[in-house]
């Protein structure tokens, strides 16, 4: 595997190389923008400027000394351009997003099956209410958006909201799941959605985002801070994991949405170090010991932490439990208290 500049989001003339190419699985993906991804034939078609259904024919012709398929005007090859995007809104300030998101949560409820799921993870009803978990709506998107507008909230630039073809504001909810607030220094920056059913291509979590929609805005991979700022904090993958570990241990948690989502972590540490953070303990899922993709991301994380004015280390636990939240829950059930 290796990284090259992403043609969609990396700036020309810089050393940015976010596009990861997995030679073992013959796939590629940019974790920064999340938009440029696919299989080896898609990548070949993009850079050679030919239709995807002509890739095999083109490769065969080259291998047998034949003429490759021409593309572009005059037979010269041109890179295919990314699809045209709908007009996007600039990101609303954190304070405005926080107001809109809190008003949205006040209009939503938590479905019984979602509550039962959270209770099985060891959370109490009181903790669930305090954390603000709600179920994504399945109908009434226009009505929810309009009710916010009627109360004077501005949806322009708030990720997850956009205008449809009729010009009406609505919500970018494509799948049912649990809406998880991502807070930072007391403000809700955005949401993760824990899906009821895992996507065929992708994981169990989505970012609440309306990128590529009319007047929409991209929900970014912001950090989620749980607990007061302390000298030592724990760095974990996933908003829900952070909430659960904090609930059982009282430890201050800083979560990133995914192990490859490091672009906002450095900025968060620049905020937190002057506030007193001196030591960071990473506690990513144990599959980083055997998953090359996670292992590679972990090396990038270590390089990032090494540049900060802090010390850092790594927590390890019994690998029978992949996530620290699962390990702590099992320990509490057996011992009656959280591990030290």
Tell me the pLDDT band of 83, cut-offs 50, 70 and 90: very low
Extended beta strands in the chain, E state: 2-4, 19-22, 27-29, 37-39, 134-135, 161-163, 169-171, 177-184, 187-195, 205-207, 224-226, 232-237, 253-256, 279-282, 311-314
Residue 4: partners with Cβ closer than 8 Å, 6 or more residues away = 17, 19, 21
Cβ atoms 19, 11 nearer than 8 A: no
Is pLDDT of 302 > 60?
Answer: yes
Tell me the pLDDT band of 1, cut-offs 50, 70 and 90: low
Comparison of pLDDT for 15 and 299, the residue scoring more:
299
Cβ atoms 339, 328 nearer than 8 A: yes
Tell me the pLDDT band of 204, cut-offs 50, 70 and 90: confident
Mean pLDDT of the chain: 84
pLDDT attached to residue 119? 94
Is pLDDT of 48 > 80?
Answer: no
Cβ atoms 194, 129 nearer than 8 A: no
Is pLDDT of 73 > 50?
Answer: no
Q: How confident is the model over 242-285, as pLDDT tens digits? A: 999 999 999 999 999 877 778 899 999 999 999 999 999 988 87
Is pLDDT of 240 > 90?
Answer: yes
How far apart CA 173 and CA 245 sit, in angstroms, is 28
Is pLDDT of 5 > 70?
Answer: yes
Residue 223's Cβ-count burial label (10 Å; 0-12, 13-18, 19+) is buried
Tell me the pLDDT band of 68, cut-offs 50, 70 and 90: low
- 231-252: average pLDDT: 93
Q: How confident is the model over 92-107, as pLDDT tens digits? A: 999 999 999 999 999 9
Cβ atoms 171, 179 nearer than 8 A: no
Q: How confident is the model over 106-159, as pLDDT tens digits? A: 999 999 999 999 999 889 999 999 999 999 999 999 999 999 999 999 999 999
Which of 170-179, 192-201, 294-303 comes out lowest in average pLDDT? 294-303
Residue 142: partners with Cβ closer than 8 Å, 6 or more residues away = 164, 168, 169, 170
How far apart CA 223 and CA 182 sit, in angstroms, is 7
Is pLDDT of 21 > 80?
Answer: yes
Which of 171-175, 245-249, 298-302, 326-330 comes out lowest in average pLDDT? 326-330
- 192-218: average pLDDT: 86
Nearest alpha carbon to residue 184 among 244, 121, 103, 267: 267
Query: Could you tell me what percent of the chain has a pLDDT over 70?
Result: 82
Is pLDDT of 220 > 50?
Answer: yes
Cβ atoms 89, 216 nearer than 8 A: yes
Nearest alpha carbon to residue 187 among 147, 145, 222, 142: 222
Please give the radius of gyration of the chain, using alpha carbons only, rounded to the nearest integer. 22
Is pLDDT of 74 > 70?
Answer: no
Q: How confident is the model over 151-192, as pLDDT tens digits? A: 999 999 999 999 998 889 999 998 899 999 999 999 999 999
Cβ atoms 141, 191 nearer than 8 A: no
- SS3 of residue 25 by DSSP: coil
- SS3 of residue 248 by DSSP: helix
């Amino acid at each position: 595997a290796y990284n090259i500049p992403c043609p969609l989001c990396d700036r020309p003339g810089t050393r940015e190389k976010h596009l990861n190419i997995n030679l073992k699985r013959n796939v590629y993906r940019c974790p920064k923008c999340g938009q440029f991804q696919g299989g080896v034939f898609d990548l070949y078609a993009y850079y050679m400027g030919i239709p995807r259904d002509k890739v095999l024919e083109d490769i065969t012709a080259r291998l047998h000394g034949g003429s490759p398929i021409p593309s572009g005007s005059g037979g010269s090859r041109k890179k295919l351009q990314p699809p045209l995007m709908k007009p996007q809104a600039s990101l609303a300030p954190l304070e405005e997003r926080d107001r809109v998101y809190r008003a949205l949560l006040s209009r939503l409820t938590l479905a019984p099956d979602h509550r039962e799921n959270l209770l099985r993870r060891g959370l109490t009803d009181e903790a669930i209410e305090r954390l603000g978990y709600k179920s994504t709506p399945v109908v009434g998107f226009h009505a929810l958006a309009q009710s916010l507008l009627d109360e004077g909230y501005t949806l322009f630039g708030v990720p997850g909201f956009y205008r449809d073809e009729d010009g009406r504001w609505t919500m970018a909810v494509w799948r049912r799941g649990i809406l998880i607030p991502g807070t930072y220094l007391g403000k809700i920056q955005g949401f993760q959605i824990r899906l009821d059913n895992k996507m065929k291509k992708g994981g169990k979590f989505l970012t609440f985002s309306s990128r590529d929609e009319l007047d929409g805005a991209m929900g970014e991979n912001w950090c989620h801070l749980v607990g007061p700022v302390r000298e030592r904090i724990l760095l974990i993958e996933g908003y829900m994991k952070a909430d659960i570990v904090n609930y059982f241990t009282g430890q201050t948690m800083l979560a990133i949405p995914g192990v490859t989502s490091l672009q906002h972590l450095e900025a968060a540490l620049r905020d937190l170090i002057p506030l007193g953070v001196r030591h960071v303990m990473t506690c990513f899922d144990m599959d980083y010991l055997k998953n090359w993709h996670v292992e590679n991301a972990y090396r990038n994380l270590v390089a990032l932490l090494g540049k900060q004015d802090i010390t850092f280390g790594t927590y390890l636990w019994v690998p029978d439990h992949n996530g620290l939240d699962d390990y702590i829950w099992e320990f509490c059930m057996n011992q009656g208290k959280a591990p030290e």
